[in-house]
Amino acid sequence: MDYKTGRPNHIEDALVKIHTQQWFTWTDSKDKVYANLRLTEKIGVKGVMENNPVTELPSESVVNAKLKELQDSFDEKNKDYKLKRALEYPSVQDLVVALYDTDDKAAIEAKRAEIKLKYPKPGA
């Protein structure tokens, strides 16, 4: 999920919606791609380890379709000015740097004002 907006942006976002519990794992946790997706043997249910009821992985096309469905739903619910602003606002790192540099702070303030003009509040 995109840390800034909360928009689903990875197949893992879709996988957790396809089945409940931690039914899947990765063969390489640093490279979370479909090719590295595997079923877990056991899942925890109310503190007890049980056999995983999921017996086969969904196809890559099913996972990608679920991700697109989640993204489309998110986009529809968040098509207002707040999301558009959030996508263009300076990063937290830029803001922290601006605290110590007057020139950067002025540039950040100008950028925010520009974005607010570009995406005004409804009725403003």
Q: Are residues 66 and 120 in the same domain?
A: no
> pLDDT grade, residue 123 (50/70/90)?
low
pTM above 0.75? no
Q: Are residues 63 and 2 in the same domain?
A: yes
CA–CA distance, 3 with 74 (Å, rounded to integer) = 14
CA–CA distance, 70 with 1 (Å, rounded to integer) = 11
How far, rounded to the nearest angstrom, does the alpha carbon of residue 39 sit from its chain's CA centroid? 22
**Structure tokens belonging to residue 32:** 């979370």
Give the least confident one: 35-39, 72-76, 78-82.
Answer: 78-82
pLDDT in tens, 45-56: 888 999 999 999
Range(s) of the domain holding residue 108: 80-124
User: What's the structural domain count of the chain?
Assistant: 2
Q: Are residues 69 and 12 in the same domain?
A: yes
Neighbouring CB atoms inside 10 A of 67's CB total 19
Q: Are residues 114 and 92 in the same domain?
A: yes
Q: Are residues 15 and 69 in the same domain?
A: yes
Per-residue confidence (pLDDT) for residue 89, from 0 to 100:
85
Q: Are residues 84 and 74 in the same domain?
A: no
Q: Are residues 72 and 117 in the same domain?
A: no
Q: Which residue has the higher pLDDT, 120 or 13?
A: 13
Q: Which residue has the higher pLDDT, 88 or 41?
A: 41
